[in-house]
Amino acid sequence: MKNSNSIAVIIPFYNASKHILSVINKLPKTINRIYLINDCSKEEIPMDELQKFTNIVYLKTDKNLGVGGATKFGFIKAIEDSIDIVIKVDADDQMDTSYIDELINPLLKNEAQYSKGNRFRDFKALKNMPFLRKTGNLILSFLTKAATGYWNNFDPTNGFFAVKTKTLKALDFDNISNRYYFETSLIAELYFQNTIIKDLPMPAIYGNEKSNMKVWKMPFVFIPKLLKTFVKRIIKSYFVYDFNISSIYILLGIPLFLFGVIYGIYNWWHFVSNNMLAPTGTIMLVTLTIIIGFQLLLQAIHYDIINAPKAK
């Protein structure tokens, strides 16, 4: 059956003049439109070489918005043009666009509303990934699971994804980051729409290009944002949009656990300072509150995991 969906690729362009022609040449013929977004690049887009592509729509931002801001710029244009599915592809030729048909397939079959690459399901690709990038992605991926609620998905910072514009219409783009936190903040917003995300194993390509993101800065950039995302999600999911058994686990578990830890530290310091032995009752109170509080929090985590958005 012929596919009647209109499909577009969004390519945020910034200082990638050496790679952009290769990226566009590799795009499959199933793509109806290409949004090439000049994000105030210092390097010029090689327009003469790209004139042969009649399906390219050239856009330019008024100021440098970052990869996320430029992609959102493309989202808005795709929605205005009534595109059904958009695929985000980077301009640095690090994404294997031969996977695009496989990427959009779950969306065409209505098995998911968002699909993305997962570099950690391909062992050969994983071995080829630079060690620091691999380690950083593993840690950030786990933290992002907790922050966004998508416990069944991995490699959330992968920028090679496809999404239905119908899904994008329901999102508040102001809540989605313009820069390096873009993919994570996008997934965090999708959670509140109960969006089904499909992971597809695929390799990443690492060439001679240099990332604008310093590896050592990643924890300082991502961890505070992930913590904010986590707190926001828990409050919205369990105390604003709903109130369920996990809400009770959290309400009881946090105070009990914190009381046990704080009271235990205080008494430990007090009795050690005075060279005294703590009473059995004090030890039991501290131990029980920590254990019960921790168990309740584990139950809340378990509830959160089994209720992650997933295909039925």
Per-residue pLDDT tens over the stretch 3-61: 567 999 999 999 999 999 999 999 998 999 999 999 999 999 998 889 889 899 999 99
The alpha helices in the chain, defined as continuous H runs, are 20-25, 47-50, 66-80, 100-108, 123-128, 131-148, 165-169, 182-191, 218-235, 245-273, 280-306
Residues of the chain predicted below pLDDT 50: 1-2
Q: Nearest-CA neighbor of 90 among 143, 152, 37?
A: 37
Q: Are 103 and 87 in contact (CB under 8 A)?
A: yes
50 burial (CB, 10 Å; 0-12 / 13-18 / 19+) is: middle
CB count, 10 Å around CB of 272? Answer: 11
Tokens of 87: 């695929």
Q: Quick check: helix, strand or coil at residue 164?
A: strand
Q: Are 21 and 47 in contact (CB under 8 A)?
A: no
Radius of gyration of the chain (CA): 24
Tokens of 29: 């013929």
Report pLDDT for 65. Answer: 95
Q: Are 210 and 14 in contact (CB under 8 A)?
A: no
